[in-house]
Amino acid sequence: MNTVAVGEKPGFLQKTILYLILWLGAIMSAFPFYWMFVVGTNDRSAVFHIPPKLVWGNLLLTNMEKVIERILFFRSMYNSFILASLETVFVLFFCALAGFAFAKYEFPLKRSLFILVLGTLFVPQQLSLLPNYIIMAKLHWIDDFKAIIVPGMVNAFGIFWMRQYIEAAVSNDLIEAGRIDGCSHFRIFWRIILPIITPALSTLGIFTFMYVWNDFMWPLVVLKSQEHFTLQMTLRQLLYNRDGVDYGMVMAATFTATLPLLLVFLLFNRWFISGLTSGAVKA
Amino acid sequence: MSQTIVAANVGKPPKRPFWTERRRTASTAYLYISPFFILFLIFGVYPIFFTFYLSFFKWNAISPMKYVGFQNFALIFEDPTFWVSLMNTILMGIMGTVPQLIVALLLAVALNSAIVRFKNFFRIVYFLPNITSIVAVTLVFSVIFSNQGMANMLLDWLGVTTDVAWNSGWWGVKIAIAVMIFWRWTGYNAIIYLAGLQSISPELYEAAKIDGANSRDALFKITIPLLKPFILFTILTSTIGSLQLFTEPFVFLGTSGTGATRPEGITMVIYLYREAFTNSYFGTAAATAVVLFLFTIIFSLINLMITNRLGSSGSSLGGAK
């Protein structure tokens, strides 16, 4: 902390204010996670303890037992996991294929079609909510995971993301060489392109997984039976209780539900953050 | 006989198979992009037209549709709850978004400062709130904003003796929800601004300093104009996001899953949801969706205009804003 940049302004006061701002921001961001953990490991009175309890207890398992009694916690976690994984696989496959076509193939109307793809990014989801619900009803997909997976199997942002990356990272010579060696179109994609674009796939994969895992409104509209509920839907049920809410239990559940994504994030944060900013730079 | 064949062959290129390399390539490309367009036609294009169409009909999703013209729009415009939901959406949007973007910019500038250590650590921590599900965030904050929760404890400690009814008061609800939005998105936007700041070449500041510019000039003449695309991006995404506000108020105030929400926190999307899935008024719900869409366009255009002015005055008028 003692290293002062050569020559110029960083006065002591300025530096203190700077770090004060940064730490305040950090504490604000991280505190609710810690608080979730503290309350989740204590009994129900801990929430209203004065001054606020800041030390964790040992009741996480007891609280989780109560959660499991009240809601289908692990069943819904499994549902969320299956939905998010399947969706991610589809999105990666179809977006990479389309992105590859837009990056490296020549075909009539390519430009207009790509602009059309981008244009769809600006259409609010709510505008198609009702008809999509009706379509699902007609297809008899209400309360079926297909209603969640099929409409989201490929999306405009993913195509855009893949196109940008493939255009920059894959040289035409490589594709040319593959053609000369007699590779089919699909074989080139599968054996040459996919391995090269792993970083882009990781970013898109993480974001897709996170999006599906955390989505709330569409599952709420199309899923009807308890055993098909996603994690977010069952979590919500914990808040309604005639005899006062047991916040220890609620926080134990939210903490456990947040843990998988938290771990994924801490492992892959570099990809998360690069994906986030490159989306912004280009838009 | 043989002469006519020769003549015919001169007129056109030598005979080629239909599946030329070019055609094969083009059709492969079409095949690769077709999943998107097929799904988009079914779940994107058709629904949009159908929503507009549906907004002119009375329908409960079961009995035959009945054409009613603009009556659905008249109905929602006469419904006080619609206006409450519109008002709430705008208020919560402004309360959640404006402080958020200012603080995000502040954090980004601080983080971009040359003397800061642990930059990566801060970046990771700031992004943390964004990965949490909105439902989880809302549950945590509903604890903090419960009657004897931490928010009121803090108010007591600050000497403000009256407890605020965060989950039923007109302003209480809005503040609580604005805080949730603020918490979730500030770090996200800070990281976007940081990316923007890092794309500005330090040489520009050096040159300005040599020309006698102070730090205020640097902020208004270099930083803000060059950051404009990033500011525009965050303003647009947050505006669109706030117009679609649903989960936070729905979970914070919803009761036993019926979708009914107290008037203090009802938003346009909750109104839409309630019209369709609680009351089975699909026509008015569609009309609400159309109005929401128009508002999205109007607000985006207003934002574009304001941001354009901000940027141009910053560079030409010397920071007078």
Given CB atoms, is A263 within the 8 Å cutoff of chain B?
no
Partner-chain contact A21 B107, CB within 8 Å:
yes
Q: Mean per-residue pLDDT for A139-152?
A: 95
Q: Is the minimum CB–CB distance between A118 and chain B shorter than 8 Å?
A: no
Taking one residue from A and the other from B, the number of pairs with CB-CB distance under 8 angstroms is 269
| Positive/negative CA dihedral, B18, B20, B22, B28 | positive
A41 has pLDDT over 60: yes
Tens digit of pLDDT for each residue in B241-289?
A: 899 999 999 988 865 444 456 788 899 999 999 999 988 999 999 999 9
**Which chain B residues contact residue A283 at CB under 8 A?**
233
A11 touches chain B (CB under 8 A): no
For residue range B90-138, what is the model confidence (pLDDT) as tens digits? Answer: 999 999 999 999 999 999 989 988 777 888 899 999 999 998 889 999 9
pLDDT at B60 over 50: yes
Tell me the pLDDT of chain B averaged across its residues.
84
Judged against a pLDDT cut of 60, whether residue B172 lies above it is answered with yes
pLDDT score for A181: 87
Region A42-63: what's the mean pLDDT? 81
> DSSP code of B118?
-
pLDDT computed for residue B12 by the predictor: 57
Facing residue for A132 by CB, picked from B36, B47, B123 = B47
Q: Residue A119 has what pLDDT?
A: 85
List the 178-217 stretch of A: residues with Cβ below 8 A of B.
Answer: 185, 189, 210, 213-214, 216-217
More confident position, B147 or B16: B147
- Tokens linked to A21: 């701002």
Tell me if A214 sits within 8 A of A207, measured CB to CB.
no
- What is the average per-residue pLDDT within B141-160? 83
DSSP H/E element including B58: strand B57-58
Which member of A52, A123, A135 has the closest CB to residue B48?
A123
Nearest to A273 among B33, B36, B191 (CB): B191
Residue A14 has pLDDT above 60, yes or no: yes
Q: How far apart are CA A25 and CA A29, in angstroms?
A: 6
Mutation for A interface: B27, B37, B38, B43, most A CBs within 10 A: B43
Q: Which residue bears the tokens 């608080």? A: A35
Mean pLDDT over A6-34 rounds to 82
Q: State the pLDDT at residue B21.
A: 79
Residues of A in contact with B21 (CB under 8 A): none
Averaged pLDDT, B187-210:
89
**Considering only residues 113 to 172 of chain B, which have any Cβ-Cβ distance to chain A shorter than 8 Å?**
113-117, 121-129, 131-137, 139-144, 146, 148-150, 153
In this structure, are residues A52 and A32 in contact, taking their beta carbons and an 8 Å threshold?
no
| Contact of B177 with B265, CB cutoff 8 Å | yes
pLDDT value, residue B258? 46
Round to whole Å and give the CA distance between B83 and B77: 7
**Structure confidence at residue B313 (pLDDT):** 47
Chain B positions in Cβ-Cβ contact with residue A124 (cut-off 8 Å) = 240, 243-244, 292-293, 296
Q: CA–CA separation, B205 vs B223, rounded Å?
A: 9
Q: Please check whether residue B40 touches A, CB under 8 A.
A: yes
pTM for the whole structure: 0.86
Asked if B149's CB is within 8 angstroms of A123's CB, the reply is: no
For residue B46, count CB atoms less than 10 angstroms from its CB and return exposed for 0-12, middle for 13-18, buried for 19 or more.
middle
Q: Which residues of B touch A107 (CB under 8 A)?
A: 25-26, 29-30
B183 to chain A: closest CA residue: A29
Question: Is A121 in CB contact (< 8 Å) with chain B?
Answer: no
- B187 contacts chain A (CB < 8 A): yes
Substitution target from B27, B39, B105, B115 for chain A, most A beta carbons within 10 A: B115
The confidence score (pLDDT) of residue B56 equals: 96
Chain A contact for B273 (CB, 8 A cutoff): yes
- Partners of B148 on chain A (C-beta within 8 Å) are 48
Residue B318 at interface with chain A, using a CB cutoff of 8 Å: no
| Whole-number CA gyration radius for chain A | 24
Chain B interface includes A247 (CB < 8 A): yes
Looking at residue A282, its pLDDT comes to 45
The distance of A107 to chain B (nearest Cα, Å) reads 5
Partner residue facing B44 (CB), from A26, A120, A281: A120
**A235:B234 CB<8 A:** no
Closest Cα partner for A188 from A175, A199, A201, A200?
A175
3-state helix, strand, coil in chain A (%, to 5): 75, 0, 25
pLDDT in tens, A176-210: 898 888 888 899 999 999 999 998 998 899 889 99
Whether A29 and B129 lie within 8 Å, measured CB to CB: yes
Calculate what percentage of chain B has a pLDDT beyond 90.
Answer: 41
Q: How far is CA A277 from the centre of its chain?
A: 15
CB contact under 8 A, A128 and B47: yes
For residues A214 and A232, what is the distance between their CA atoms, to the nearest angstrom? 7
C-alpha A280, offset from chain centre: 17
Q: Work out the mean pLDDT of chain A and round it to a whole number.
A: 87
Residues of chain B with pLDDT > 70, as a percent, come to 88
Interface contact flag, B47 A210, Cβ < 8 Å: no
The pLDDT value recorded for residue B15 is 65
User: Which of helix, strand or coil describes residue A259?
Assistant: helix
CB contact under 8 A, B32 and A214: no
CA B240, A152, B30, A115: dihedral to nearest 10 degrees? 0
pLDDT-derived band at B1, boundaries 50, 70, 90:
very low
At residue B164, the pLDDT reads 82
Using pLDDT thresholds of 50, 70 and 90, give the confidence band for residue B226.
confident
Amino acid at A74: F
pLDDT of residue B260: 56
Q: Would you call A156 and B276 a contact, using CB atoms and an 8 Å cutoff? A: no
What is the spatial distance between Cα B267 and Cα A36, in angstroms, rounded to a whole number?
27
pLDDT band at A265 (very low <50, low <70, confident <90, very high): confident
pLDDT of residue A74: 93
pLDDT at B87: 94
Please check whether residue A53 touches B, CB under 8 A.
Answer: no
Tell me the three state secondary structure of residue B57: strand
The answer on pLDDT for A162 being more than 90 is yes
Confidence of residue B317 (pLDDT cuts 50, 70, 90): very low
Instruction: Measure in Å the smallest separation between the Cα of B263 and chain A Cα atoms.
Output: 19
Flag whether pLDDT at A143 surpasses 90.
yes
- In chain B, residues with a C-beta closer than 8 Å to the C-beta of A105 are 25-26, 28-29, 32
pLDDT (average), residues B214-218: 82
Q: What confidence score (pLDDT) does residue B283 get? A: 94
